[in-house]
A and B are shown apart, each in its own frame.
Chain A
Amino acid sequence: MKTDITTKKHRTKVKLGIFFWLCTFWIVAVILVAVLAPFLPLDSPNKTFECQPFLAPNTSHIFGCDDLGRDMFSRVIYGSRVSMFVGIVSILIGMLIGGTLGMISGFLGKKLDTFLNTAANIIISFPTLIFLLAVVAVFKHSLIVITLSIAFISIPLLFRVIRSATIAVSNKDFIQAAIVLGSSKFRILFVEILPNILSLGIIYGCLGIGSAIIAEGTLAFLGLSVSLPTPSWGNMIAEGAQSYLRRDFLITLWPSIFIIVTVVCFNFISQRLEHQFNSSDNKV
């Protein structure tokens, strides 16, 4: 009998596609530029009358200049520092706390799981912006406060994703086998389960970073994030949109393009990886 044929794995690798790599390239580039901004040959983002106000894009100022004659290109670059910092750091914190709780809760189950899950569901039903507004109303609008409060919001969401993934993995035969064989719970959790849910963590992490960037952008747009003149994409859009839309829409356009492209890239990467993950999961 040709049993060898039926058991042979048919690994058809789904290609991630050119757009996936373009998105990854963009995000890596933005992160690099954001980190290295002070060392790059850029004009100071806050130095006024570097050039003529509302200067159209040209070779020395490729994005033009804003109402106070600040170089738009370096403002957009420096603005990315805020967005990327808040997006990545808050989700890292959220993943660390929410993900760990989710794994423990999903693996151990019982009362702890019921309690944490109900708590997560209740917190999720709170409107996020209301929470953020209440926080910035009480505390100062500093980068740290905003990062931490966005991290706090992301905890129950990431908790829920990781918890259900952990439950799904825990029910698989090899985990059950490990439990029967008497491996320690700690070992099972970190050696057996963690590698299996890592990909899901990355998928939802990317999605979360996109949402966190938008959340920070919204606060900044409302004037409730880092205070001016420190540029962030959100407050640059607000500045341009509220006062100079008629005069020079480029002031609004540049940060808009950057925030949209970055968020779309994160969402797209997440979607693509999820697709890849699902199709490879079904094949094995």
Chain B
Amino acid sequence: MKKTSKQIEPNENALTVNNLSVSFKTERGLLKAVDSVSFTIPKGSVLGIVGESGSGKTVLCRTLIRLLPESNLNIEGSIDLFGINVTELRKRQLRQLYKNVASIIFQDPLTALNPVMKVKHQIAESLKLHTETSRSQRKQEVIDILELVGIPDPQIKANCYPHQLSGGQRQRVMIACAIASSPTLLIADEPTTALDTTIQLQILQLLKSLQKLNQMTLILVSHDLGVVNYICDYVAVMYAGKLVEFGKTSDVLDHPYMPYTKALLDCMPSLSKPKSHKLQSIPNSMPDPFSLPLGCRFAPRCTYVQSRCVIESPKLISDSSEANIHEYACFFPIKPIVSKVALTSQTDNENT
């Protein structure tokens, strides 16, 4: 399993999320899309957020930079991004954050890029806000960035409209827009989902190399554990708005504690597994966000379910037996040795 060789100093955290809840006011009542999520990642690391669609992963990552329209939104808890308290930022300060600190790329470049604006103008837009340069200089910078993200013939492609490019090129253009402001945090919201499988790897490699080159902290949202395994240092598993498992990628994927993570892993087809290996699927679907189960939200679908799971909601607990951080929310984790102590307080586990 891949691990970054970079030495991460303790206390140098990129992002600390504490007890974050996000709810929408809807006609049917309050919809809690993200429920009491807490985690911490160090600078320069890659975090993968995984979960089924509707698990709240997109809402979570967009809330991290307050990108959601806030008219019917309620955010509780705190987000500490490089020492900036994101939840407290005012509109103008938020724009400063976007200009200099954080960028995001979306799933579908076809809808995220303006269809009636040339590629070069869309990239120049981010550049212009970030740095004060002359027009001709900026022209060159746009070409440089396009070259950096691996677009062939950047001089020609810069004058294209998004629909004139291929899917992979469009995604590269969106990445170019995002990194033009040299952000320290890049959020990639399912960047490869809309692409052909052959292109997916190229884009992931590009993201990885850019992350290394610019020393960025990268948050990658995906429902593909293979993608996460390939690129991420940390992984956060979401289920029905809750963070159910968090830790180093190698720990979580090699020894999942939470039955949901294991179920996700079992769903993954693998070429290395023998053909006779039966692919699993998780029965039923996610609970209706308006009528969540009382206890553990995964309980109705869990094969390990016991009576306690239905009545009581498990808190995120840390496995203190290991040196590395590995948190999970389950009363009956799948482990070789059942842990002795379960710490309910999360604040103690911030540092690895």
Do A5 and B300 touch across chains, with their CB atoms under 8 A apart?
no
Q: Shortest beta-carbon distance, A120 to chain B, in Å?
A: 31
Candidates B28, B284, B300; contact of A10 at CB < 8 Å = B28
Interface residues of B in 270-292 (CB under 8 A from A): 284-285, 287-288, 290-291
Q: How far is the CA of A12 from the CA of B301 in the complex (A)?
A: 29
Interface: B27 (CB within 8 A): yes
Do B287 and A2 touch across chains, with their CB atoms under 8 A apart?
yes
Q: How far is the CA of A10 from the CA of B29 in the complex (A)?
A: 11
Interface residues of A in 1-28 (CB under 8 A from B): 1-3, 5-6, 10, 12
Which residues does chain A contribute within 8 Å of B284, judged by CB atoms?
1, 3
- Of all chain A residues, the one with the shortest Cβ separation from B300 is A1
Which residues does chain A contribute within 8 Å of B290, judged by CB atoms?
10
Q: How far is the CA of A5 from the CA of B294 in the complex (A)?
A: 13
Which residues does chain B contribute within 8 Å of A10, judged by CB atoms?
28, 290
Do B293 and A2 touch across chains, with their CB atoms under 8 A apart?
yes
Q: How far is the CA of A12 from the CA of B26 in the complex (A)?
A: 11
Specify the main secondary structure of chain A where it touches its partner.
loop
Q: Known contacts A1-B284, A1-B300, A2-B300; is A12 also within 8 Å of B27 by CB?
A: yes
Do A5 and B28 touch across chains, with their CB atoms under 8 A apart?
no
Q: Shortest beta-carbon distance, A2 to chain B, in Å?
A: 6
Which residues does chain A contribute within 8 Å of B293, judged by CB atoms?
2
Number of interface residues of A (CB under 8 A): 7
Interface residues of B in 1-50 (CB under 8 A from A): 27-28
Q: How far is the CA of A10 from the CA of B293 in the complex (A)?
A: 18
- Among B27, B290, B301, which residue has the most Cβ atoms of chain A within 10 A? B27
Q: How far is the CA of A10 from the CA of B31 in the complex (A)?
A: 14
Q: How far is the CA of A10 from the CA of B287 in the complex (A)?
A: 15
Do B288 and A6 touch across chains, with their CB atoms under 8 A apart?
yes
Specify the main secondary structure of chain B where it touches its partner.
loop
Q: How far is the CA of A10 from the CA of B290 in the complex (A)?
A: 11
Interface residues of B in 148-168 (CB under 8 A from A): none
Q: Shortest beta-carbon distance, A35 to chain B, in Å?
A: 41
Which residues does chain B contribute within 8 Å of A6, judged by CB atoms?
285, 288
Which residues does chain A contribute within 8 Å of B285, judged by CB atoms?
6
Q: Known contacts A1-B284, A2-B300; is A12 also within 8 Å of B28 by CB?
A: yes
Which residues does chain A contribute within 8 Å of B300, judged by CB atoms?
1-2
Which residues does chain B contribute within 8 Å of A1, judged by CB atoms?
284, 300-301
Q: How far is the CA of A3 from the CA of B293 in the complex (A)?
A: 12
- Of all chain B residues, the one with the shortest Cβ separation from A7 is B288
Which residues does chain B contribute within 8 Å of A12, judged by CB atoms?
27-28
Do B27 and A2 touch across chains, with their CB atoms under 8 A apart?
no
Q: Shortest beta-carbon distance, B54 to chain A, in Å?
A: 12
- Of all chain B residues, the one with the shortest Cβ separation from A2 is B300
Interface residues of A in 124-168 (CB under 8 A from B): none
Mask of A76-97 contacts with B, CB within 8 angstroms, 1/0: 0000000000000000000000
Q: Shortest beta-carbon distance, A199 to chain B, in Å?
A: 20
Which residues does chain A contribute within 8 Å of B301, judged by CB atoms?
1
- Of all chain A residues, the one with the shortest Cβ separation from B27 is A12
Interface residues of B in 251-307 (CB under 8 A from A): 284-285, 287-288, 290-291, 293, 300-301
Q: How far is the CA of A3 from the CA of B290 in the complex (A)?
A: 13
Which residues does chain A contribute within 8 Å of B27, judged by CB atoms?
12
Which residues does chain A contribute within 8 Å of B28, judged by CB atoms?
10, 12
Which residues does chain B contribute within 8 Å of A2, judged by CB atoms?
287-288, 291, 293, 300
Q: How far is the CA of A2 from the CA of B28 in the complex (A)?
A: 18
Q: How far is the CA of A176 from the CA of B207 in the complex (A)?
A: 48
Which residues does chain A contribute within 8 Å of B287, judged by CB atoms?
2, 5
Q: How far is the CA of A274 from the CA of B285 in the complex (A)?
A: 34
- Of all chain B residues, the one with the shortest Cβ separation from A279 is B27
Q: Shortest beta-carbon distance, A231 to chain B, in Å?
A: 48
- Of all chain B residues, the one with the shortest Cβ separation from A3 is B284
Q: Shortest beta-carbon distance, A281 to chain B, in Å?
A: 14
- Of all chain B residues, the one with the shortest Cβ separation from A6 is B288
Q: How far is the CA of A2 from the CA of B299 in the complex (A)?
A: 11
- Of all chain A residues, the one with the shortest Cβ separation from B283 is A1
Q: Shortest beta-carbon distance, B24 to chain A, in Å?
A: 15
Q: Shortest beta-carbon distance, A242 to chain B, in Å?
A: 50
- Of all chain A residues, the one with the shortest Cβ separation from B285 is A6
Q: How far is the CA of A1 from the CA of B298 in the complex (A)?
A: 11
Mask of A201-217 contacts with B, CB within 8 angstroms, 1/0: 00000000000000000
Q: How far is the CA of A1 from the CA of B301 in the complex (A)?
A: 8
Q: How far is the CA of A12 from the CA of B28 in the complex (A)?
A: 8
Q: How far is the CA of A5 from the CA of B289 in the complex (A)?
A: 10
Q: How far is the CA of A3 from the CA of B300 in the complex (A)?
A: 10
A sample of 15 cross-chain residue pairs with beta-carbon separation below 8 angstroms, ordered by A number, consists of A1-B284, A1-B300, A1-B301, A2-B287, A2-B288, A2-B291, A2-B293, A2-B300, A5-B287, A5-B288, A5-B291, A6-B288, A10-B28, A10-B290, A12-B27
In the A-B complex, list the 8 residue pairs whose CB atoms are closest, starting with the nearest. A5-B291, A6-B288, A1-B284, A1-B300, A5-B288, A10-B28, A12-B27, A2-B300
Q: Which residues of A contact B (CB under 8 A)?
A: 1-3, 5-6, 10, 12
Known: A2-B288, A6-B288. 16 other contacts (CB 8 A): A1-B284, A1-B300, A1-B301, A2-B287, A2-B291, A2-B293, A2-B300, A3-B284, A5-B287, A5-B288, A5-B291, A6-B285, A10-B28, A10-B290, A12-B27, A12-B28
